[in-house]
Structure 1
């Protein structure tokens, strides 16, 4: 089942319209602030990157013509091709190429923080040296709201069969790391 984003339901803007002519809730920046980036069309997102049009042509028209002018995709357009477009120039071409390159780089990255959402994953997060050790270790895993590990700390190392700890030693790092959850092992 295909789901359409809010942006795909939005009708395209009329040619020649200026941002100042739009109702404030229809302007890209305000729309992004109130509804998030998913609610914006490609044209509106591009207008935010470009920021302004040029004499006689608004940023929304410039965005639309750029999207139409590169059928293979604006992200595949090179610096020289973009620079030659009227109203883009060297500075905007560089900004667009840089923005698309950043998007490519970030899209391939995984969040390095492990998710500790099951007992098995918590056990996997305990270092082998602690599991095989001869003394009790009290570990605290501090998690964000998505159960991702934001900080790990050895709170106490005890004896062969006991470990003494004050609750403050567990909760103080939770506050300093703005943790949404704590797992004590």
Structure 2
């Protein structure tokens, strides 16, 4: 049975342990416990931290605000603290997507992992060089997907700047369904035609949800 934080000897508590031995000595659960500070009525901080770690492990280490709120004992303030911690770490670490080679739809999933369970639709454009390596991933729109919002100008402007040879389009479905809508298919065909004129191939348009993905190329829509 897991000991509650107050039952641990002082030298085994996360704060004291970090001060004496450095952050490398702490487990993931201890780091999360240190970050969120305290539990809730009936739930010790160690229990809450354990649930957060299991959520992160099951989500590829990419937390979302809504996903964190689904954990008992994590409210808005704690969810914001965890999200802020991950974001500041990403910024100082420097997220380097360049060189990540895309050869199949599954290779795209790590690039959009934290958006797969969002409640709004995010539309991304991933630019690639001639070797199929990622140059950059950019958010084009946030909100309801339609042809007026996802204009070729918005999609290809940065691709031209990147001197991209090709692009892969990605968006999430908050509904959880992987079936492409008529709007999805219409947008894809419009962008394929625009890319052809510019000499930038649209290799695929991938729909993602928390449970999986659907490739419009594999479905025969490209």
| TM-score where L is the length of structure 2 | 0.40
Larger Rg: 1
Bigger proportion of residues as strand: 2
